Amino acid sequence: MSERQIIHTDLAPAAIGAYSQAVVAAGLVHCSGQVAIDPATQVFIDGDVTVQAERALENLGAVLEAAGSSLARVLKCNVYLVDMGDFAAVNEVYSRYFTGDEPPARACVAVRELPKSALVEIDCVALVD
């Protein structure tokens, strides 16, 4: 079994359960899901799905940076929506963070409920630089 490195940064929300912000192993960083929690205050940001998606992606970017990676190195994202009617709005935000001709693979699924009553949660796997 290869070594693994647990990632933690104060620039993203602290884990609210028995999990790590991310784990690096075998040249990959596996990031836990991020919701719209302000890392400075640990308070959930109450806003529409676009505001929440932006904060989730900012948090994800901070975790990736702490792991020696970046949004540009993401291989796959999973997007969880409470309402699939929010797909277009989240896709618009997502496309601002993943630009260019080679975006990562992605799944988007509707779920019944998310932590903190979030409208969107995003996780990813990325290459480590």
Distance, CA of 92 to CA of 94 (rounded, Å): 5
Residue ranges of E strands in the chain? 4-7, 22-25, 28-34, 37-38, 43-44, 74-81, 105-110, 120-127
For residues 51-76, b (16+ Cβ closer than 10 Å) or e, as one string?
ebbbbbbbbbbbbbebbebebbbbee
Selected catalytic residue, list 31, 77, 108, 124: 108
Strands 22-25 and 74-81: unpaired
108 is an active site residue:
yes
Catalytic residues: 108
